[in-house]
Structure 1
Amino acid sequence: MEHEMRAEYAEGVLPHEDTPVKKWHMTRVGATIAMCGQPLAPAAVTQSAGKWGTAEAQPFCRTCGVMYLEEHPQDTE
């Protein structure tokens, strides 16, 4: 299953490329519900799951991280 990271923004803030990201979540590609259950804006910025664990993916949802690791344990090796 393919994954990507999708941005969460402060409540009431519309997604825009200059909008500060409140938190990054892991989703299945194209999904707007994070692995933790958080609904995310369809227009939210996304980035490759390959950036997970890097400075570009911070701050990252801990619950999504746990769930992602359960599906992709080889990503920690």
Structure 2
Amino acid sequence: MRHHIVAEQLPDGVTLKEWHMVRGEEQQSMCGRDVAEGAAELPDDAWGTDSAHPFCHTCGALYLREVP
């Protein structure tokens, strides 16, 4: 299964709230939040780096349980 990271913006549409992990082509993040169409994305190997900070705690915990 391929994962990717998607940005969640604050209501102003500019400010990053946090990054979420998404499984494959699903329309929700692993924590259950809906993924906004056209949101910024990063590859899953950016998890744990400064470029994917701040990261959703729930998505991170679930991702660690799925990826060796």
- TM-score, shorter chain, exceeding 0.5: yes
Question: Distance in 1 between the 2:25 and 2:16 partners?
Answer: 18
> Separation in 2 of the partners of 1:46 and 1:12?
18
Instruction: Point out 4+ residue stretches in structure 1 off by more than 4 angstroms.
Output: none
What are the superposed Cα offsets for residues 38-73 of structure 1, whole Å, 9 maximum, x if unpaired? 11201101110000000000000000001001101x
Partner of 1:41: 36
% same residue? 40
Q: 1:69 aligns with which of 38, 47, 64?
A: 64
Structure 1 SS opposite 2:16: coil
Residue 52 (structure 1) aligned to one of 26, 47, 54 = 47
AA at the equivalent of 2:17: K
Q: Greater CA radius of gyration, 1 or 2? A: 1
For structure 2, the residue ranges without an aligned partner over 5 or more in a row are none
The amino acid of 2:37's aligned partner reads P
State the aligned residue count.
68
Structure 1 portions without partners, runs of 5+: 14-18
TM-score (norm 1): 0.80
Range that drifts further, 25-34 or 62-71: 25-34
Calculate the aligned-residue CA RMSD, in Å: 1.3
Whole-Å Cα distance in 1 between the matches of residues 8 and 20 of structure 2? 7
